[in-house]
């Protein structure tokens, strides 16, 4: 029981810690298979939505990763500890937002057709 409480406290502390390591998060994002559905740059695709530059908080992301509402696999603490999740979150937050499509000529021409 004592061990369980310690784990809970450690987990909560990890989840609430503001900073993660984006470089480590980038490696984990690929190593743990996040890219498979969301793309290497978190841009999203048919199997998974865009999560680059996410507007979610780390708490919301953590809740979703542990008990997803959609078809995403549920990653438990056992396979994706909070510190690693925090690093992944830092990586996602570090990714640049996309340029507006009107500033990309190939996309802008599609607008006018």
- Least distance (Å) from another protein to the CB of residue 73? 3
**35 counts as binding another protein under rule CB under 8 A:** yes
Selected binder of another protein within 10, 41, 81, 93 (CB under 8 A): 41
Q: Is 50 exposed, middle or buried (0-12, 13-18, 19+ CB in 10 A)?
A: middle
Selected binder of another protein within 42, 61, 83, 87 (CB under 8 A): 42
Alpha-carbon distances, residue 87 vs 14, 28, 29, 95 (angstroms): 10, 8, 9, 13
Selected binder of another protein within 6, 16, 17, 47 (CB under 8 A): 47
- Least distance (Å) from another protein to the CB of residue 49? 9
- Least distance (Å) from another protein to the CB of residue 91? 13
Q: Which is nearer to another protein, 2 or 46 (CB)?
A: 46
The structure tokens listed for 11 are 């987990």
- The residues that touch another protein, with contacts defined as CB under 8 A, are 31-33, 35-37, 39-47, 50, 52, 68, 70-76, 78-80, 98-101, 104, 106-107, 109-111, 113
């Amino acid at each position: 029981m004592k061990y369980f409480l310690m784990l809970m406290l450690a987990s909560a502390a990890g989840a609430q810690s503001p900073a993660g390591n984006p470089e480590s998060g980038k490696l984990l994002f690929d190593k743990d298979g996040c890219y498979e559905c969301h793309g290497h740059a978190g841009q999203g695709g048919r199997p998974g939505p865009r999560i680059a530059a996410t507007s979610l908080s780390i708490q919301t992301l953590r809740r979703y990763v542990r008990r997803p509402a959609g078809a995403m696999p549920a990653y438990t603490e056992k396979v994706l500890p909070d510190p690693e999740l925090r690093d992944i979150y830092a990586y996602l937050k570090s990714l640049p937002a996309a340029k507006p499509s009107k500033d990309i000529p190939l996309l802008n021409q599609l607008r006018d057709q």
